[in-house]
Amino acid sequence: MVSVAQLQAPAGALSRLGPLRVGGLELGAPIIMAPMAGVSEAPYRALAMRMGAGSAPTELVSSKGLLYKNERTEAYLRHDPAQEPALWVQIFGGEPESMAVGAELAASRGARLLDVNMGCPVKKVTRNGAGSALMTDPARAAAIVRAMREAVGDAVPVTAKIRAGWDPESRNAVEVGKALEDAGAAAVTLHPRTRSQGYSGTADWSLIRDLKEALRIPVIANGDVFCAADAHRVVDETGCDGVMVGRAALGNPWVFRELAAAYRGEAAPEPVAAEERVQVILQHLADHLEHIEGASGGRRRHGEPEAWGLKKFRQHLIWYSRGMRGGAAFRERAMGLDEREAVEALVAAFFGAAEQLDVSEAPIYDERTAFG
């Protein structure tokens, strides 16, 4: 059945875009998975790109964590260059000096692009002057980009992800965007909600249009893009150069296959078959556990790497099962399993049979709880 949104969507708007170029790098399809805490680890980034995303920045990485060689921070940079040739690292911090050092360290570990987090609303981040707190100080935001650019040079473009502003009384995305461009930013992504909004209400795409009209560098649209119809509309309404998808990708890497088909001007893919869903989730689990084992370097800080990896993967199982009939019972069982074979058997049994959807029980992404 065709939705009203699909009928109203301007046909082909996304397909009119060319490959996304940031600085001197061509990133392929202008479809990006948003950097999300607890989600955007290397295995899921690679999965998103196999499905059709052109790029996928890392979850936010602490500049001070890089400086002090924090084990957890270092693990965020672990990736497979064969699957992720243009590693895009998102860094957060509130001081130009530490951000410059962090940029240099990230580049030395393989980062080909660097993104400054100016949108995270979590108090743990903003109370230190980072994340969306930078929207209250455009001069400091620009100083951070300038310092990072000077630290890494032209070979590693610096981008930024911003919000509409701190609150409804200070919607200054265009002002901040201009300051960042003048400081040398190679692209800006805008999520047009204020920090005080969080994810409530609707993303004001008109702000993306205003920013695009004000800047010469690429502008990437983020916020309320859940399907190809949304992507067509946001491109048509804003003139943006690329589309970034966040919450729609939680437990649904297939959204990038849908968007990639729309970008190529092709018909929408067939619904995901149960067999494929099982295969993709099991492969994601295997890649996730391998990543955890490699990142641990043989250390046992959280106990056995496999047990820790299974515990971390529970959040992905929550998202994979959202909206599925019987999902609540599945999640209850999954939360109590701590052996890989048992998890694999449950995944195969549930996703191999679950077809119908019940969106009323769908869990959502909450950055406050995902960040940690």
Residue 268 belongs to a domain: no
For residue 363, pLDDT beyond 50:
no
Of 120, 148, 190, 240, the active-site residue reads 120
Q: What is the count of structural domains for the chain?
A: 2
pLDDT, one tens digit per residue, over 223-275 is 999 999 999 999 999 999 999 999 999 999 999 999 999 999 999 999 999 99
Domain range for 39 is 4-263
The answer to whether the pTM exceeds 0.85 is: yes
Q: pLDDT value at position 43?
A: 96
- 202 and 307 in a single domain? The answer is no
> How would you class 57 by CB atoms within 10 Å of its CB: exposed for 0-12, middle for 13-18, buried for 19 or more?
buried
How far the first Cα of the chain sits from its last, in Å, is 40
Q: pLDDT value at position 323?
A: 87
- 226 and 321 in a single domain? The answer is no
Give me the CATH number covering residue 259: 3.20.20.70
Of the candidates 263, 298, 315, which is a domain's last residue?
263
- 115 and 243 in a single domain? The answer is yes
Specify the 3-state DSSP secondary structure of 21. Answer: strand
pLDDT, one tens digit per residue, over 80-136 is 888 888 999 999 999 999 999 999 999 999 999 999 999 999 999 999 999 999 999
Residue 186 belongs to a domain: yes
C-alpha torsion sign, points 210, 212, 217, 220: positive
For residue 79, pLDDT beyond 60:
yes
Residue 72 belongs to a domain: yes
Cα–Cα distance measured from residue 185 to residue 145, given in angstroms and rounded to the nearest whole number: 6
- Nearest Cα to 219, choosing from 198, 235, 199, 201? 235
Q: What are phi and psi of 68, to 5 degrees?
A: -95, 10
Please check whether residue 174 is in contact with residue 139, taking contact to mean a CB–CB distance below 8 angstroms. Answer: no
Residue 227 bears catalytic tag: no
Report the chain's C-alpha Rg in angstroms: 20
- 168 and 71 in a single domain? The answer is yes
For residue 6, pLDDT beyond 80:
no
Residue 27 belongs to a domain: yes
Compute, in degrees rounded to 10, the torsion defined by CA atoms 209, 187, 25, 251: -80
